[in-house]
Structure 1
Amino acid sequence: MADHNETARETIERAKGFVVDAIAETMDLYGVTPSAGRLYGTMYFENAMTLDEMKDELKMSKPSMSTAVRTLQEIDMVHKTWQKGSRKDVYVADKNFFKSFIHFFCIKWKREVKVNMEAIFTAEKNLKAVIESPEVDKAIKTEAQHYYELIVESKKYYYWLEKLVINFENGDIFRQIPIEDE
């Protein structure tokens, strides 16, 4: 019986390891290092962990662990929580992949829209000044007009991306693409 239990325990640990390794490998999509990904994967299977428990489990230094935790907190995948009877900070992984995905990508998409729309508005003003200037020759005005039309056309994408963010944040995306069991 003991051998079967030990074999079963090893099988469970191997199964968890497959998932942790896959999470660590794919976390680069979120701009997260593999070690922070491994931490998230490990925490995914735990209810709550202190920095010392994380350090011991992953064999990482405390500063590296703190950096990884902070990174995961910034993208809302790990939260500090209070645990009765503990004086140490305790952390919990957010296990809702849908929420994490939406939060992370909406932040990135909003930033993309903001940065690019600011640049577009500035470029439009500059190009309009060239187009409307009586002192500039026709060839240069034509070139400025061409670039102006290109950036005006690009705004369609950014307006669409803003709508996509809204659909993710308000949950409408799940009416279009429902979450289904297998």
Structure 2
Amino acid sequence: MTDAYEKLEKSRKRITESIAQNIHLYGLPPSAGRQFGMMFFENRPLTLDDMSAELGMSKTSMSTSIRSLSEAKLVDRVWERGVRKDLYEVKDDWYQIFVDMFTVKWRRAVSLHTAAIRKSLAELKELKKADDITDELLALIETDIEKLLYIREYYDWLDRLIDAFEDQKIFDLVPRLEDEA
């Protein structure tokens, strides 16, 4: 192996380890990050056997990671004529990868929170009508309602932000560098 090739490999390993250390942001373990990083530098789709041989990990481990990477929308299964085994490649649009990850996770969070807020607001409004309510309890209920209305406004804003990501309007506010050229 030449010195230049060794430097190339060192550079790739540095990036792959950086991906492995940050892949937790996508809810994935470092091993999936190493797999993703290795795949990123390949210029062709890979089989699980290819990945297993390259990383020295079991095919079962590769299969589990590739499923997680696929569910996170970081890789795609592709078809190639004459190849019977499943082939996978890294998605090439990292902006879209982030948009997909952000919108899926935050849309779920917004949905859960708004459902809880809606239910709690309804319960608190009913509680205000109770006959045995004290002034002290009424004050606490009113304060809680104000707080819930405030966080409902936040989740309404967050929902609009998610919409801006999904319909690509976020790139009007924060353009891709390639869009600015």
Superposed CA deviations along residues 19-51 of structure 1, whole A, max 9, x for unmatched, are 111111111111110000110111111121000
1:70 equivalenced with 2:67 (yes/no): yes
Q: Please point out which of 90, 95, 99 is paired with 1:93.
A: 90
What is the identity, as a one-letter code, of the residue corresponding to 2:23? M
Q: Please point out which of 39, 49, 55 is paired with 1:58.
A: 55
What is the identity, as a one-letter code, of the residue corresponding to 2:36? Y
Q: Distance in 2 between matches of 1:97 and 1:136?
A: 55
Q: Distance in 1 between matches of 2:134 and 2:10?
A: 71
Quote the residue 1:132 is aligned against: 129
Task: Within 5 Å, give how 1:134-153 maps onto structure 2.
Answer: 134-153=131-150
Quote the residue 2:14 is aligned against: 18
Aligned length in residues:
178
Quote the residue 1:41 is aligned against: 37
TM-superposed deviation, 1:68: 0.4
Instruction: Output the aligned Cα RMSD.
Output: 1.3
Moved runs in structure 1, 4+ residues, more than 2 A?
Answer: none
**TM-score using structure 1 length:** 0.94
What is the identity, as a one-letter code, of the residue corresponding to 2:171? F
**TM-score using structure 2 length:** 0.94
In structure 1, stretches of 5+ residues that fail to align are: none
